[in-house]
């Protein structure tokens, strides 16, 4: 069995996380469980995103820290398929996603993937109302809004994996 090189840990160099624990792939409980079930991990040429809705109110920066510690980062949305998958994880009217207004006044993804190429802004957004709306939220209808980063709300994390499970 070939293990993924990152064993479930973030491989994004822009994420400042502590080094992974010295657990090998063969010792990883999830890998052991899959192997025990007669399944194997197979590298997938396409990176798969898995979204995790967290129904705990945090500021955007607190949510980002949590997501980077437990997953990969706050949710990044690259296309309509990602958007639809994310909508299906939401349980509240609005949640933080990984958008923020960078120093060059361009909206960027917090995982370091750069300027967004896919957008779903609500009509008239982003508006930067009051000059304090620098973080992105997503409504349960899939539209985005800019909001003050210090407001607390639920959030969506994602993890990136290039593995899928297949039967032997």
Considering the entire predicted model, what is its pTM?
Answer: 0.68
Q: How much is the CA Rg of the chain, to the nearest whole Å?
A: 17
What pLDDT is stored for residue 46 in this prediction?
A: 52
Dump strand ranges (E) for the chain: 39-58, 73-74, 94-101, 107-109, 114-115, 133-139, 144-148, 153-167
What pLDDT is stored for residue 143 in this prediction?
A: 95
What pLDDT is stored for residue 86 in this prediction?
A: 87
CB atoms within 10 A of CB 77: 28
* Domains of the chain from N-terminus onward: 49-161 (3.10.100.10)
Q: Which residues contact 79 (CB under 8 A, 6 or more apart)?
A: 118
Per-residue pLDDT in tens (0 to 9) along the chain, 168 residues: 333 333 333 334 343 333 333 333 344 444 444 444 444 444 444 557 789 999 999 999 999 999 999 999 999 998 999 898 888 878 788 999 999 998 878 999 999 988 878 899 999 999 999 999 999 999 999 999 999 999 999 999 999 876 554 444
Element holding 81 (H helix, E strand) = helix 80-87
């Amino acid at each position: 069995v070939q293990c993924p090189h990152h064993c479930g840990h973030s491989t994004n160099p822009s994420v400042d996380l502590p080094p992974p624990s010295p657990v090998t792939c063969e010792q990883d409980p999830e890998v052991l469980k899959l192997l025990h079930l007669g399944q194997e991990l197979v590298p997938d040429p396409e990176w798969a995103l898995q979204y995790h809705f967290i129904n705990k109110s945090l500021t955007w920066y607190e949510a980002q820290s949590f997501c980077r510690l437990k997953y990969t980062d706050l949710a990044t949305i690259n296309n309509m398929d990602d958007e639809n998958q994310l909508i299906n994880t939401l349980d509240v009217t609005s949640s933080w996603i990984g958008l923020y207004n960078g120093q060059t006044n361009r909206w960027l993804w917090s995982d370091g993937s750069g300027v967004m190429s896919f957008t779903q802004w609500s009509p008239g957004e982003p508006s930067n109302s009051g000059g304090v709306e620098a973080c992105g939220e997503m409504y349960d209808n899939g539209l985005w809004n800019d909001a003050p980063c210090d407001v607390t709300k639920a959030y969506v994390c994602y993890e990136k994996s290039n593995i899928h499970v297949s039967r032997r």
